[in-house]
Amino acid sequence: MWDLFKQDVQRWIVPSKIADPSEVTLKNTLAALWRHLPLRAMLLFRIGSWFQHRRIPLLPGIFQRMILFLYGLEMVIGQDIGGGLYIAHPAGTVISVKKMGRNCSVIASVTIGMRNEWDFPTIGDNVFIGAGARVLGGIHVGDDARIGANAVVLHDVPAGATVVGIPARVVKSGSQDGRQLQLTAEGDGLLYGP
Q: What is the CATH number of the domain that holds 55?
A: 2.160.10.10
Q: The domain containing residue 76 runs over which residues? A: 2-173
Assigned domain for 143 exists: yes
Assigned domain for 185 exists:
no
What is the reported pLDDT for 175? 56
Determine the pLDDT at residue 5: 93
Does residue 188 belong to any structural domain of this protein?
no
Query: Quick one: pLDDT at residue 179?
Result: 40
Q: What is the dihedral of CA 8, 9, 14, 18, to 10 degrees?
A: -40
CB 64 within 8 A of CB 75: yes
> Which contacts qualify for 75-79: CB closer than 8 Å, 24 or more apart?
75/41, 75/45, 77/45, 77/48, 77/49, 77/51, 77/52, 78/48, 78/49, 78/52, 78/53, 79/49
In the predicted model, residues of the chain with pLDDT beneath 70 are: 175-194
What integer pLDDT is reported at residue 113 of this predicted model?
95
24, part of any domain: yes
The reply to whether 186 falls in a domain is: no
Residue 67 lies in a domain: yes
Give the pLDDT score at 194.
35
Q: pTM of whole model > 0.75?
A: yes
Q: Is the residue at 161 inside a domain?
A: yes
Q: How many domains does the chain have?
A: 1
Cα angle at 59 between 53 and 60, to 5 degrees? 50
- Establish if 184 belongs to a structural domain: no
